[in-house]
Amino acid sequence: MNHISTDDLIEFIEETLTAERMRVVEEHIKTCAQCQNALAGLKRTFDLLALDEVPELSPVQLGNFVPHIRQKVNTEPVWKAWLPRVIPSVGLVMVFLLVFTVIIRQYPHSLPEPVNIATIPDSIWESYLIDSDVFAGIVLDTETLPNVLTTETWVDTTETDELLDNVIDPTFVQSIDEIEFFDDPFATFNSYFDDLTEPEIKLILQQLNQHG
């Protein structure tokens, strides 16, 4: 069964339908409970609207109200105002990140392999002996290494030779206190020799013994 549309019911209440359509709607409502309920609800709505009439605006109020409404309708969303300002900044950040990533990828991610001390040239090794803390105070001339031995802290070369003999000879324990230069000479030399190969240790001891 077809029901009367809401538009027809509203026009039926306002009596704007044609005479023929008014008769058809009226006959249908008499036999259809659903359309009767819909018509009753619409009548209550119209009654409530009639109780609160919309006040008419004066020409002055209407002149101020209409431009205000048009401004609200034509106003663009807020994000459209600040979007053009943000786009350059975002592009700049993306370019920076891209350049940073490219630069980082150019560097190796693994640590360099440790250097084998046996492969270090003699010139660099002799230079290291001169600057080494193990030989603090002792200056070795690399050109006349077997023949020259001077010191910044010891005045007498005789004392230098005796102290070197004491360091080289572990049995000379009573003279440890005489070596103010080392806190623990044996521990210092032992830890130092641990990093050297046997030929390198023999070479150093041989050079030191030549001064005795």
DSSP states of 93-105 as a string?
HHHHHHHHHHHHH
107-141: per-residue pLDDT in tens?
A: 665 555 665 555 656 655 555 554 444 444 444 44
Question: Are the CB atoms for 146 and 164 separated by under 8 Å?
Answer: no
145-182: per-residue pLDDT in tens?
A: 444 344 343 334 444 455 455 444 554 444 444 444 44
Please give the model's pTM, rounded to 2 decimal places. 0.27
| Residues near 208 by beta carbon (within 8 Å), at least 6 away in sequence | 164, 168
Two tokens, residue 170: 């572990």
The CA–CA distances, whole Å, from 49 to 5, 52, 79, 155, 159 equal 21, 5, 39, 118, 121
| Residues near 188 by beta carbon (within 8 Å), at least 6 away in sequence | 134, 182
Average pLDDT over residues 92-108: 81
HSE-CB for 22 with a 13 A CA cutoff? 9
Residues listed for the chain = 212
Backbone Cα Rg of the chain? 53
Q: Is 35 exposed, middle or buried (0-12, 13-18, 19+ CB in 10 A)?
A: buried
pLDDT at 49: 79
Residue 1 has pLDDT above 80, yes or no: no
pLDDT at 176: 42
